[in-house]
Amino acid sequence: MDGATVVERTTDGSAEPYVPHDPTGSTASRGLTVLDVVVHYPDPASSKGPGTTAVRGVGLDLAPGEVLALLGPSGCGKSSLLRAVAGLEPVAGGSITWDGRDLAGVPVHRRGFGLMFQEGQLFPHRDVAGNVAFGLQMAGVKRSAAAGRVAELLDVVGLAGYAQRPVATLSGGERQRVALARALAPEPQLLLLDEPLSALDRGLRDRLAADLRAALVATGTTALFVTHDHDEAFTVADRVAVMDAGRLLQVAAPEDLWRAPASRRVAEFLGYQAFVALGSAGSSRSLGDSAADFEADFEAADRLSERGRGVPRGGSDRSLATDPLSERGRGMPRGGSDNFSAAGGELLAIGPTGLVLVPGAHATDELSEGGRGTDRRSSDNKSGAWSANGTVVRSAFRRGRTEVTVDVDLGAGPQRVVALGMPSATPVPDGATHHSFAPAPGGRVRVALDLAGCAVVPTDS
């Protein structure tokens, strides 16, 4: 980068100044720079038709050695952007540069980039070593040198000893490992991966995502990785770029993204399950809708703000996402309810672990106030801040915990959420563990906020 200010798009499509990511602090333009790129497909039925604009002015950069995930729902334009970087799609606007060199007009095979797709597409007539060696042979690497590199890469992807195996005898996961080794072998300056794990089952994906990350780090490979699975993106990437409808919504390191989604849309896509107005004026049923709730609101916002202040600045979060929690947190007034309302316009985003069942608390109508609990300071309320009464839809035991689906009014009308059952104090007969609190459908329960599983997002996004 020459230090020039470039532009990324915000949630509403407006442009904001953006300082490109450069962990070295160097002002040299290194790695990939995507600037205001547009990808447009003509209408297949008629040349006069409007066609589809798949990418609408996206800007991002990728430092040498960095792994960036493009994350977003199906059809949001991830693959189109990746293909444009690869040179497989022409750009209708903007520019793509590598180490400062404009790639417009540079054909795919001259970009020095590697590609890996969902189906590894191995050569069926070659064995494992023959597949991995393919790119090296094309690059003119001598057979003796290639053999060493092949062995090294099979080791990196966890397939040491597989060199002579016919690829037809491999499992799906093993095939993808071979495909990865083959893509890494020529040491591409940038590796482009399009949903490389999506054909695999969940357990295998989780394992391979971790192995993929390890292989990319071990080989120092710069990589752009497309996925619609946020767990996968968080496992594999140094930074995650969230796309929606052709635009970039936020770029941040996984933890920062999770802790401080820049908008409700990003939070929804990450799996935040409910949104409650936080101290906003004019909301008749919000977390701040009564004097009695003010203190809880304040505590909630303030505690989140404290966490936000811990988000490191610079480095990986020098992206279009500034530090919303910190910024908002600093502005959070400490005073009367009027002041608090003035700082409204924020939503408490409740994540998958942001609600817990209050153990032993079976909601009764006496406890509720229009469906909401008022016993905010009760000792059995985990968050100590807020609770509401709801009706159990079902309970399911998953991944070592009880997830209880509850119909509840959190302040924005009735909705269906998932609360985590807290372990009861009752030991299992064999003494190994504790039962979870798993109430039966139709039962009345109380759910409480666990602020560790919540974030604050702006209302107007």
Ligand X SMILES: Nc1ncnc2c1ncn2[C@@H]1O[C@H](COP(=O)(O)OP(=O)(O)OP(=O)(O)O)[C@@H](O)[C@H]1O
Stretch that binds ligand X, among 68-76, 144-152, 292-300, 410-418 (CB under 6 A): 68-76
Q: Scanning residues 343 to 362, which ones bind ligand X (CB under 6 A)? A: none
Stretch that binds ligand X, among 70-78, 170-178, 358-366, 367-375 (CB under 6 A): 70-78
Q: Scanning residues 47 to 66, which ones bind ligand X (CB under 6 A)? A: 52, 54
Q: Is 198 in the site for ligand X (CB under 6 A)?
A: no
The binder of ligand X chosen from 40, 56, 213, 228 (CB under 6 A): 228
Nearer to ligand X, 83 or 328 (CB): 83
The binder of ligand X chosen from 72, 135, 196, 254 (CB under 6 A): 72
Q: Scanning residues 79 to 118, which ones bind ligand X (CB under 6 A)? A: 79-80
Nearer to ligand X, 76 or 419 (CB): 76
Nearer to ligand X, 73 or 427 (CB): 73
**What's the min distance (Å) between Cβ of 243 and ligand X?**
7
Stretch that binds ligand X, among 74-82, 138-146, 165-173, 362-370 (CB under 6 A): 74-82
Stretch that binds ligand X, among 67-75, 203-211, 255-263, 413-421 (CB under 6 A): 67-75
Separation CA 192–CA 10 (nearest Å): 25
Stretch that binds ligand X, among 9-17, 72-80, 232-240, 416-424 (CB under 6 A): 72-80
Nearer to ligand X, 47 or 144 (CB): 47
Q: Is 77 in the site for ligand X (CB under 6 A)?
A: yes
The binder of ligand X chosen from 14, 47, 74, 284 (CB under 6 A): 74
Nearer to ligand X, 72 or 439 (CB): 72
Q: Scanning residues 4 to 43, which ones bind ligand X (CB under 6 A)? A: 41
Stretch that binds ligand X, among 16-24, 71-79, 200-208, 350-358 (CB under 6 A): 71-79
Interface with ligand X (CB under 6 A), residue total 12
Instruction: Report the interface residues with ligand X, using CB under 6 A.
Output: 41, 52, 54, 72, 74-80, 228
